[in-house]
Amino acid sequence: MNYQYSKTLFERAKRSIPGGVNSPVRAFKSVGGTPLFITKARGAYLYDADGNEYIDFINSWGPMILGHAYEPVVKAIQEKAVLSTSFGAPTELEIEIAELIKSITPGIDLIRMVNSGTEACMSAIRLARGYTGKNKFIKFEGCYHGHADCFLVKAGSGVATFNIQAVPGVTAGVSADTLTCAYNDIDGLEKLIAAHKNELAAIIIEPVAGNMGCILPEAGYLEVLRKICDREKMLLIFDEVMTGFRLAAGGAQEKFNINADIVTYGKIIGGGMPVGAFAARREIMEYIAPVGSVYQAGTLSGNPLAMIAGYTLLKILKENPVIYQELEAKGAYLEKGLKDVFKKKNMPVQINRMGSMISVHFSSHKVKDFAGSSASDISAFNRFFHHMLDSGVYLPPSAFESWFISNAISYQDMDRTISAASRF
């Protein structure tokens, strides 16, 4: 394919934007080559500045679950935009989407809208500390909860992609309150807790990790985390920025039948627009200002365009549970097709999937944590990425990211994807 205009735009961008991009993974630094500049998208397809068409397996990192430019969402945004794009004051729509999310999601009474998944997770940790009166918390190696200082310790996503082990600008004091443990390792977690008895406010986890590839919790793992948090009087925080409303209408909490104490959401609740939220039981959420003294604020929180987009999308997901059955079937079809391809080629590949989240790891060993993901053949993935890109299939430009399937994708699209993989 011809990428010449994207190359021209990238050179131009580097003169005004750090690295030429506004989020690091977009730079293609891990996989090599020039990032594509996208001009439009519709359904399952992306179109770049050179006019190339791609089957999209990023879907804006998850929220485009029904495909790009989904007509009911676009129409709702257009109708709302003529009334103004921002008020900085309460609207009835904020109540409606809060009530809708409560009706879908188990175990929450109150929800606060924010502007990104990063902000949601940052606020959730602040709330957990305020509620428990303790400062330290545990996160898991390879899990990415946004770029707030306290999370940039052994993080996944772009931090893993660029192999940044220590982030300049994050103080030692902040890092000292962030304790890390391997994902799926209960013994290691128990030892860490024992070493910091009565100091821990919370455990935060991606219930299905999406920032070291798609990593599934082993059987019983999340249930044990719930019991440990109850025993130690810690809060369990589910980061559902990726899994919320994607694995099921009620997210991972519904999928695994486990209630977290606090849950965080990202861009899917804005239909792909900049938005986030955190939610919990009333007794916890009433620690947040203006009811309580844990401060959090945002001028654009509850922005009407994001709220109407999210309300429209989530209402469709709630009223059409068959969507999740269709996504499961499509995910299973793609998984089987790719497994068959690599088996015939006698290539050591691990394919992890849950629902419409999937990733390919070039490894002969089961990938169940960050160490396993890091030990896979990254150079093989990078070659695979460019092969698929040249074949018209757009994958995440990093071995440390989950793929996301939209319900707009057809079985013909997946057959094209599988066929392209067979030529690798």
- Return the CATH number at 357: 3.90.1150.10
Stated pTM of the model = 0.94
What is the reported pLDDT for 97? 97
- How confident is the model over 404-415, as pLDDT tens digits? 999 999 999 999
What is the reported pLDDT for 159? 52
What is the reported pLDDT for 336? 98
Task: Give the range of the structural domain holding residue 330, as residue numbers without chain letter.
Answer: 4-69+321-422
Residues 249 and 327 in one domain: no
What is the reported pLDDT for 150? 85
List b or e across 330-363, with b for residues whose CB sees 16 or more CB atoms inside 10 angstroms.
Answer: bbebbeebbbebbeeeeeebbbbbbbbbbbbbbb
What CATH number does the domain containing 267 carry?
3.40.640.10
Q: How many domains are contained in the chain?
A: 2
What is the reported pLDDT for 172? 74
What is the reported pLDDT for 173? 73
Residues 233 and 87 in one domain: yes
Question: Under 8 Å CB-to-CB from 277, ≥6 apart: which residues?
Answer: 101, 111, 112, 113, 114, 120, 264, 265, 269
What is the reported pLDDT for 242? 96
Where does a domain end: 300, 319, 338?
Answer: 319
User: Which is nearest to 101 in space by CA: 320, 247, 279?
Assistant: 279
State the burial class of residue 406 (Cβ atoms within 10 Å of its Cβ: 0-12, 13-18, 19+): buried
What is the reported pLDDT for 156? 47
Q: Which residues are catalytic, by number?
A: 144, 239, 267
CA-to-CA separations, 165 to 7, 131, 149, 154, in angstroms, rounded: 30, 31, 13, 7
Residues 111 and 216 in one domain: yes
What is the reported pLDDT for 167? 67
What is the reported pLDDT for 171? 75
- How confident is the model over 318-366, as pLDDT tens digits? 999 999 999 999 999 999 999 999 999 999 999 999 999 999 999 999 9
Establish whether the linkage from the previous residue to 290 is cis, with ω within 30° of 0: yes
Where does a domain end: 280, 299, 319?
Answer: 319
What residues of the chain score a pLDDT lower than 70? Answer: 154-167
What is the reported pLDDT for 155? 53
